[in-house]
Chain A
């Protein structure tokens, strides 16, 4: 399998306000969110970033999506550098996170057309792709309903569909099933597998072990901003369950840090 994503020495430090220092229980005015992370993802695989809350998963994905800039390091997404060619990177990826919202005022139909135009999708392709995706997620019945009036699950599905208007080869999902009911979560995970079948690459972050076990071909374990392990699921688990193995790694990492 050929490499489509190459991450090299990615680091990000945030400045903490006094209030944030109190919340974090630290006297340091800076927090290293991502510390020299390197990994690769290949075409047609699902790569999972597994870690507890605050480990640096979302920050890593936001850097890959060019929403924030790394302090050090770089990543090359299908030949485009996130630091030097951010617009090209954004054209190549589909990015979905709970922090990305859709305008309540518009309908899924309008939003699909709007984001398609921003991605430069040909007018003839837009309608065919919209029909296929709307039918796949059951949005077609709600195509003319304003986002404000959609259920949470339908909003999430619309966000997912809108992030894929341009049929990207690499899809970055931050906590893809977070906040979804079981039915919608299942629809999303089934779709991710379907995308992998089409040769798409998916990079997702999660703290749900079962999701990683069900979906991911390779996993990166991230704790306190450091990528401690990055391998296939079988190699990381080495016969143990992912949950047991993760806590073993976590304890070792925390013990080492202390």
Chain B
């Protein structure tokens, strides 16, 4: 194998990719930009919706109360209550009308042997009515607790009784990130693969330019290596763009302050491990997509072939969300793509050890070499390369 030829193919792919402004924009700039805009807008939308519901829930509510015992009245202090007997049908109609902020509280008229049941009628579609229902329920429960107070909890101390150490506070963020980020990374990388690989391989078949390469003394293996290395670079660039888009928009999306999204909880070792795992994943992913793309007759049919593979990858991507924690057995990290997701999940959860990272990266490299061998055989197959 001649490294010069691999480099020549690599450079040609780079010249094609970086020289084509449309391809560069759609594959590298647009994913990050779109993710940032969409997530930011979604975050803005969610915030606006929450603010609106909060504002509505703070509107004054008319509390219509029947048969209220005198002793419970302090619990209703500061509420706009109307005592009396009401026409049930008429009050129900008013409560059902979500434009009216009304709650209807009915205390039992007579004492019974059973626990007295207080009925609170409200409209869950009206945030103010719903908030008033929660408030009144809490007030009555609190009043009830006061009547038979046996213990208080942390009532006589001024200092905080939560003995959590600062470091462990970060676990909450790490836990969220360990479930979300591996899935997002895998999906972003796959989208990037889809954007670059079919054009480079199925596209060359479709345009008839692959045959021009195949009549040169270039070895098929050199062609496979050159293409996979170049496509991996483009995928990483595209993935970086998407990652930046996500990291910049995630605080907005999750309604968090940027201080709460402090990524300093990860050490340099964690970052290096993540990058190495991502590199191994990209190499393997590009190799698999390249094989499917080489098998396809044209770019369109390569999309059809890659779609089921994408569904499998997405399924694997959500595995950290299913719970159960990361696998402990080292051989679980031999499973392609699953190993990357679980490894990244463990790193983001700050519970990764060296063995899973090493097993994941080594196995990914071995799978990539196998895939290069398959791709080499495919480039050498007249049935695959020249099928009409």
Contacts and interface: CB of A to CB of B under 8 A. Distances in A.
Contacts of B211: 67, 99-101
A100 B19 contact: no
Contacts of B78: none
Measured as residues with beta carbon below 8 angstroms from the partner, the interface class of chain B is: 20 to 34
A69 B382 contact: yes
Given A103-B209, A114-B8, A68 B382 contact: yes
Interface string B204-230: 000111011111111100000000000
A222 B15 CA distance: 43
- Mostly, the B contact residues are helix
Interface string A87-108: 1101101010001111111100
B223 to A, nearest CB: 10
Interface string A160-187: 0011000000000000000000000000
Contact of B216 (A68, A69, A106, A119): A119
Interface in A128-183: 162-163
Contact of A101 (B208, B216, B219): B208
Interface string B9-25: 00010011001100000
A79 interface: no
Contact of B217 (A100, A106, A110, A118): A118
A18 interface: no
Contacts of B57: none
A65 interface: yes
A101 B214 CA distance: 11
Given A68-B382, A101-B209, A105-B16, A118 B214 contact: no
B8 A101 contact: no
Interface string A37-60: 000000000000000000000000
A93 B386 CA distance: 20
A199 interface: no
Contact of B4 (A101, A106, A117): A117
Interface in B19-44: 19-20
B100 interface: no
Interface residues of A, number: 28
A114 B12 CA distance: 8
A115 interface: yes
A87 B208 contact: no
Nearest to A65: B215
A225 to B, nearest CB: 17
B56 interface: no
A118 B382 contact: no
B218 A95 contact: no
Given A103-B16, A103-B207, A104-B207, A91 B217 contact: yes
A151 to B, nearest CB: 18
A66 interface: yes
A95 B215 CA distance: 7
B386 A66 contact: no
Interface in A227-249: none
Contacts of A95: 215
A99 B208 contact: yes
Contacts of B191: none
A118 B209 contact: no
A90 B216 contact: yes
Contacts of B386: 67-68
Contact of A87 (B19, B207, B217, B382): B217
Contact of A67 (B207, B215, B219): B215
Contacts of B214: 67
B5 interface: yes
B382 A101 contact: no
A197 interface: no
Nearest to A88: B217
A120 B212 contact: no
Nearest to A92: B217
B217 A90 contact: yes
Contacts of A99: 208, 211
Contacts of A88: 217
B216 A110 contact: no
A117 B7 CA distance: 10
23 contacts: A67-B214, A67-B386, A68-B386, A87-B217, A88-B217, A90-B216, A90-B218, A91-B217, A99-B211, A100-B211, A101-B209, A101-B211, A101-B212, A103-B207, A103-B209, A104-B207, A105-B16, A114-B8, A115-B216, A117-B4, A118-B5, A118-B218, A162-B212
Given A119-B216, A120-B217, A162-B212, 18 more contacts: A65-B215, A67-B386, A68-B386, A88-B217, A90-B218, A91-B217, A99-B208, A101-B211, A102-B209, A102-B212, A114-B8, A117-B4, A117-B5, A118-B5, A118-B213, A118-B218, A119-B217, A163-B215
